[in-house]
Each structure stands twice: as C-alpha cells, then as structure tokens.
Chains A and B, each alone.
Chain A
Amino acid sequence: MKELRLAFVGNPNCGKTTLFNAFTGANQKVANWPGVTVCSVCGKTVFGGTTYFLTDLPGIYAISSYSEEEKVAMDYLSASDDVIINVTDATNLERNLYLTLQLLELEKPVVLALNMTDILEKKGICVDEERLGKILGIKAVKISAKKKSGLSEILRLSEKAIFPDGIVHLKNEEVNIADMKPKERYILIEKILKEVLSLKEITLQKCKPDRLLTHNVWGLPIFLGVMGIVFFLTFFIGEYIKSFFENWLESFIVGVYGFLTSKNFSGAIVSLVCEGIIPGVGGMLTFLPNIAILFLLLGFLEDSGYMSRVCYVMDSIMSKAGLSGKAFIPMILGFGCSVPAILATRTLEDKRDRIKTIFAIPFMSCSAKLPIYVMLSKLFFGKYAPLLAYSMYLLSFLTSILILFFLCDKEKKESTLLVELPEYKMPDIKTVSIYVLEKVKDYLAKAGTTIFFASVFLWIILHIGKGGLTDNIAESFGASLGKMLVPVMKPCGLGYWQIIVSLIWGVAAKEAVVSGMSVLYGISNISSPYGMAKLTSVLKASGFCGLNAYTMMLFCFLYTPCIAAIATASGEIKSRKTLYTALFVQLLIAWGVSFVFYRIGRIIF
C-alpha cells in the first residue's frame, strides 16, 4: 500500500485541529489542548488505497523562533519531507497568507486549504481559489473542517502536490519572495487579495459579547462567576454520577470478598485485595466523573474562544505580579492537573516567568485534591459542603496570585501580553471530547499504576510491624512513622497518625489521601453515606471536628505537590536547588498557614 506523510501547518484558531480530528477521529495518539499545545500530534487515515500519516503541528503565526510553538513546528518541518497542508482561515486571509508565503520558501510541496469559506460567502464575499493557487504556484482548495467538506480533495491534491517556485505570479508582475521584509510581504498580500477576493476589504465585525466579557469593571467578576459555575457543575453533576459508581464498587468488593474466601485464600491476601487494593484504586475511580466534567467544561471554555479573553481580563492583575495575562492560562489548567499545566508554561516566552508560574501552579487546587475537599467537607459541613469546597478553589486562586506577588521582580516590568482574540464560536464537540478522553485515560493510567502500587505498599507497611505480619494496624511500621510525626502536626490540629500517614501518601498522588484514610480507618467504601457516617463518628470520637477538617483541607491544598508534578517541574526547571527550595517552601507555607488558621479558629470557636 502506498504511504504519504502530511503535516498540518496553520495559524492558531484557523480550524486546523478540527480538520485534523475530522481526518483521524479516534486514531490519534495524543489529544490536542487547543491553543496551548506545544507538541505535535500524530494520526493516520486510509483513503483510495493510500495510507496517510498525519501530523498536527502547533498553531503558529510565522516561521521564526519567537515562541516554543514555532520552534517545535520549525524543527519538525526542517527534519521531515512531509507534504505541507497549509490550513488557512479564509475570513482572515490577510494575516493567514503571511505564513503561507513563508512556507513557500521551504522548498517543500504545499497544498493550501481554505477553511471557513462558507462563512466568508455568507458575508457576500467570494474567494477565487484557483486564481489564488496560480498566483502562489501551488494548489488551493476550499474546505469546511466543521462540515467535513473538501477532505478527500485535500488528500487527492496532496498526492500530486507542487513544489512552489518561491515566486508570486501577480497579473502584471512576478515577485520573488526570498528575503522580503515583513512590511513588503503584507503589501504583497494586499495585492494578492485584490486579485482573488470579490471585495477589497473585509471589515472585522464588532464583537458584541466582548462588550461585557472584557468590560473593564465587569470582566473580572464575570470570570470568577464562570469559574464558580464550572466548579458547581463539577461538584453537583459529578456527585450524582458518582453515587452509581459507589454502589457498584460496594457490591464489587462484597463479590470479590465472597469469591476469595470461598476459594480459601489466606486472610492476608483477602485483606490486601479487599482492604488495600480495591478501596485504594476503586476509591480513586469514583472521582472520575468529577474530573471528566471539570476538563469537559475547561475544554469548552477554551474552544469557545473565552480563554484568550481571560488573558486580557487578568493582565492588569498579573502584570502587577510581573507576569503577562497569558501566564494565567497554565494556572487555570492547574485546576485540572499540575502536569499539563506545568507543560503549558512553555507557551510563555520569558524563562523567569516560566519558573515563577511553575512555582505558583501547584497552589491552584488540582482536580486530584477535589476528592479530599469533597470528602472532608461532606463529613463535617452537611449542606454547606459545596460552598466550602468552592471556597478552597477561590482561596487557591488568591493564594497563587499572592505567591506571584512575592516572587515579583523589584524593577517595574511591563506586560508582554500578545494574544489573538478569535471570534467566539460554538465549541467543537469532537475536539473537546477527544481532549477529555485523553485526560480520563491519563487518570485511569495513574489509578492502574501509581495508586495501585501506593495501595499495595501502604497495605504492607500497615500490616507489618516489629513482630511480622499483624492485623492490628496500630502496631505496624506505618503507624510508628505517623506517630513519630504527631508532635510536629499537633499544633495544626492534625496530630493523628492515620491522617499523617494519609498525607504522606498524598505525595504519591493527592487522591491517595482519601484512599489512605479509608484504609487506615478501616472503612471499605469511604464515599458512600454509610462509610461517611462511620468515618465521621470515628473522627469525632478522637476529637477531630469541623475546624480540624477545614485545616486539613487547607494543608492539603498548600503542601508539596504529587510525585508526577514534581517530576514534571524538575524536567522544566532544570535546577535541583530551585526545585528543592520550592518544595521546602511549599511544605513550610502549608504548615504555617494551617498552624495560624487552627490556632485562631480555636480561639473563635
């Protein structure tokens, strides 16, 4: 079978990813976080007896090395001999053709795909794609990524794609584009557009939603409101779906227990499976709906075009902390997971800005901390639980900004914000769902590996003591370690060895704090009403009340991030000293804040 490699290149927001997804569907390897991906994505499709290997490169405005996206795209293009599929937004050819002209100089075959021509035609403007192709010396084709029209045409043309000659063939002149200055290129593009568009100038329509969404006064409260709704939905819909998971998990444990005892497995193995592995891994799985919903909503916001407005809205505040509003996007991703958030800092051009943002990201409460907030607030605060869980998110938002203020350089630094505000659009279901699917897969992979081993290891240190295998957890090595640290955590109201061991386990993955507590307090299904009631009574009997619970939530949100986040940060910062300092400071802040809060709380209540 014949094979052909295609590389998709185009401006951000030109519909490139939508087109790529239309071709590859579920066959792609890495999902694309629209707008902030700094890696290429691969997929394949078969058509007319040829297998096409497709690569989706990050959206770029020009071929230079200003941003990380451009470096990735350039490195790929210079090393490969793929046919370049240059995807352009036909409603904004003036800027899109700038990149096209640069691609013509690469001496690689190019096919020009004019996306969104239907929108342009609705405005009463026609584009002569045949003429445009002739002028540029390549083939051009009208497509609609959203309606999936023109897809086979792209593949057909790519088989006989033309190597451009680097000359623009206007009606009355031939222009060699080599070594042209940006200004001259834009003048040339104006000339080209005069020949191919039925109307001279495309005026940009006033963006009505922006009158409110980027309003100087209302923009920020609206943004906070939007995030409030996001967390509200995550909490409520997530909880609803979760109850099904829980029932299933409970009957599963009973089933497995019955099976293992009937097959005469030893008590230790039954305990390892039913009290260690299943509650540990399963407990984490019950939070899957919450995480899926959170990423679904964040994906919707991003794909609709609202996130770039957030850059503008947040720029004034962020620039006071010495960063541009753009640095806020990785921080919002931090609500989902620190790992992609830390990777997304690559979109920031300044290295110092990146390190500051990486340090602040773990303070945004990631979705793995959600189970901790949900459980603790439900245990002690009844109907106020959602409010208190949301308060953690608001607090984490404020804390991370406060942290950035502390890290700010003394000399006044002006904001280097520079982002495009694309037209608002209905989010593409496919783009968003592929993204969510990928996040869910990551989460499951973590449940299968890190949490699995953490559960097994936790079970082992809790069932082995000085006298060998023991049924009494209080005599185990794990308990001794926790007990050793009790004096350190007592001033914060967290001087319980079970809680301390759970917190240590949280460094493996934050969700493990919940599963850790379920194992340590011997409750098989911690998020069921029965399990909760049991845990509440056990905790209350030991003097752990609402104040302790909220302090524990505070501690969990502030202390050292999980191993995966630490590893990612270490890969990005590349300085051990900076990393260790950061980790130590995070632990210190967590202890300090918990201490102050608990002490003041004790005086008030």
Chain B
Amino acid sequence: MRLSGAETGKCYIVESIQLPEDKKRRILDLGITENAKITVENLKTDGPMIISVRGTRLALGRKFSDGIIVWEMKA
C-alpha cells in the first residue's frame, strides 16, 4: 500500500520508494530506507502527514507519501 493511505497511530515498514531520482535520494538521505519503521502521527485527508522515522519527526507532502510503498506492521 501507499503511505498516503495509512492511518494515524499505526506503524508501517517501508517496502520501496517510487519517486523521481532526486526526490528518492532525499527520502533515503533522511532515513526512509527499505525496512525502516515509520509511525504515522497525524494526517490530513488528501493533504500532508506527520511521521516519525529513525528518531526524527517529519512532515511529508502528498507527493512523497504517495511515492512511499509500505506494509502495515501488526501490533
């Protein structure tokens, strides 16, 4: 599934990044790499989301959250 379809409060594992090369590189530099654990802290429908990954809290626009493919981590 895409990260943009995630739910607040749940944890996800990154499967792959499907973004243009420069944007993908930026996402990777910030630690959103394959197998990284992402917690969704807040999100607006069709808008941006707040996630935490590797001890960092990030606000992601729709372009990025659409390009990050994740699977849900069962609690």
Residues of A within 8 A of B (CB): 61-62, 64, 66, 91-92, 94-95, 98, 182-183, 186, 202-204, 206-207, 210, 214, 216, 308-309, 311-312, 315-316, 319, 324-325, 414-422
Contacts and interface: CB of A to CB of B under 8 A. Distances in A.
Contacts of B10: none
B61 A92 contact: no
A348 to B, nearest CB: 12
The 5 closest A-B pairs by CB, nearest first: A415-B61, A417-B61, A182-B28, A62-B29, A414-B63
Given A315-B48, A415-B48, A416-B63, A61 B57 contact: no
Contacts of B63: 414-416
Given A315-B44, A417-B60, A418-B30, 18 more contacts: A186-B33, A202-B55, A204-B52, A204-B56, A204-B57, A210-B50, A312-B59, A315-B48, A315-B61, A316-B47, A319-B61, A325-B59, A414-B66, A418-B26, A418-B60, A420-B56, A421-B58, A422-B57
A325 B61 contact: yes
Interface of B: 22-23, 25-31, 33-36, 39, 41-42, 44, 46-48, 50, 52, 54-64, 66
Contacts of A420: 56-59
B59 A92 contact: no
A234 B21 CA distance: 45
A426 to B, nearest CB: 18
B6 to A, nearest CB: 15
B47 A94 contact: no
Nearest to A216: B44
13 contacts: A92-B55, A182-B28, A204-B56, A207-B41, A207-B57, A210-B50, A216-B44, A312-B48, A319-B48, A324-B61, A417-B59, A417-B60, A418-B64
A95 B55 contact: yes
Contacts of A422: 57
Contacts of B54: 94-95, 186
B52 to A, nearest CB: 5
B1 to A, nearest CB: 17
A215 B51 CA distance: 14
A183 B28 contact: yes
A308 B41 CA distance: 15
Nearest to A314: B48
Given A98-B31, A324-B61, A418-B64, A92 B56 contact: yes
Nearest to B46: A316
A62 B26 CA distance: 8
A98 B29 contact: yes
Contacts of A216: 42, 44
B55 to A, nearest CB: 5
Contacts of B46: 316
Nearest to B14: A183
A216 B42 CA distance: 8
Contacts of B23: 416
B56 to A, nearest CB: 5
Contact of A312 (B22, B28, B50, B52): B50
A415 to B, nearest CB: 3
B18 to A, nearest CB: 13
Contact of B59 (A64, A94, A418): A418
B35 to A, nearest CB: 8
